[in-house]
Amino acid sequence: MTKTYLLQAIRKEVTDTQIITYCQQASRREQGFRMLMSKYQERLYWHIRRMVIEHEDANDVLQNTLVKVYKGIPKFKGHSTLYTWLYRIATNESLTFLKRKNRNRTTSIEDQLTELANQLRADTYFDSNEAAIKLQQAIVRLPERQKMVFNMRYFEEMSYQEISDILETSVGGLKASYHHAAKKVEEYLKAHSE
Amino acid sequence: MDKEKISLPPKEEVTGFQVPEGYFEQLEQDVWTRIEATSKPRVLWQSWAVAATVALLLGIGSYFFFTSASPSDAVLSQQDALEYIEDNLEEFEEELLISNWDETDANHLEPTES
């Protein structure tokens, strides 16, 4: 029975309402949480990975996120959709991680870009084609907020409304933010194309 | 302001991130392990250890509090004060002595030969 639900969850057939109902019943909490993980873990992973870059860091942040979700879901009131709530926790966890990581960083932006390129080339879990490295270098130069908006729109193809729900910002502001970010990325890629 | 005016590469060509094989299958187990580790009720010896630590800290704190600035050192007894005044009588101005004169002090006076 559980396996059927998990398969449905993997195929995204389980509704969020079902997941929440299960998670909020002590006797079915584990089953509900497994369904939630099957449905959302991959999307959350990619969202976090694009923010923190390294797989090991993404794994750590994702696990923290899921533990927080497990502890918080019994009290989830449904003021936002489950999807929005999960993304919000993942985003906050990623930002906290990045803040901690960058706290003592004193190197210049150019040094950081070189460091990032070297790190990506050495990363076993990064297909180190130069175009992908250049794009990541362009993205890392963006302010955190623009970086998030750019990733969510460009890679995850989220609607402005979805991003607005997650980041709790106006749609108009997000459109402007994405435009500025995309423009900066385009300019960087043009300037650094061989 | 629409994104069509900006030319970016197709995302399929620039998505370089990969995950270790079988990562998502293993992830569920890892998350459960972490949840179990963080939800374990505190065992009895841990509670005792916390209580003992708090008691020890309170003990050390109290010791330093009561021994470092003992009030008995700071307060001068009346006898000490009188002795000090007697020894250093010349340093006090007459007016000051008179202004602080109390009639009860007369009881302490011993008759002197004049």
Interface predicted TM-score (ipTM) over 0.90: no
Inter-helix orientation angle A109-122/A130-140, to 10°: 140
Q: What pLDDT is recorded for position B108? A: 59
Tell me if A34 and B19 make a contact (CB, 8 A cut-off).
Answer: no
B18: chain A residues, CB-CB within 8 Å = 125-127
pLDDT of A66 = 97
pTM given for the model: 0.69
pLDDT grade, residue A25 (50/70/90)?
very high
Q: Does A151 touch chain B (CB under 8 A)?
A: no
Per-residue confidence band for A102, with pLDDT thresholds at 50, 70 and 90: confident
Residue A14 has pLDDT above 90, yes or no: no
Instruction: Quick: pLDDT tens for A157-193.
Output: 999 999 999 999 999 999 999 999 999 999 999 998 7
One-letter identity of residue B81:
A
Residue of A nearest to B18 (CA): A125
- Listed residue (A64, A87, A70) closest to A36, CA to CA: A70
Q: Name the nearest CA neighbour of A153 among B24, B6, B43, B70.
A: B6
A182 within 8 A of B2, measured Cβ to Cβ? no
Where do we find the tokens 């270098």?
A: A137
State chain A's mean pLDDT as an integer. Answer: 88
pLDDT at residue B106, rounded to an integer:
59
Asked if A34 is an interface residue toward chain B (Cβ–Cβ < 8 A), one would say: yes
Handedness of CA B2, B5, B8, B10 (dihedral sign): positive
Report how many Cβ contacts below 8 Å link chain A to chain B.
82
Nearest CA in chain A to B6: A183
Contacts of B20 in chain A (CB under 8 A): 55, 125
Task: For chain B of 114 residues, list the mean pLDDT of each consecutive stretch of 10.
Answer: 68 84 93 86 70 85 73 66 73 69 61 52
Number of Cβ within a 10 Å radius of residue B16: 18
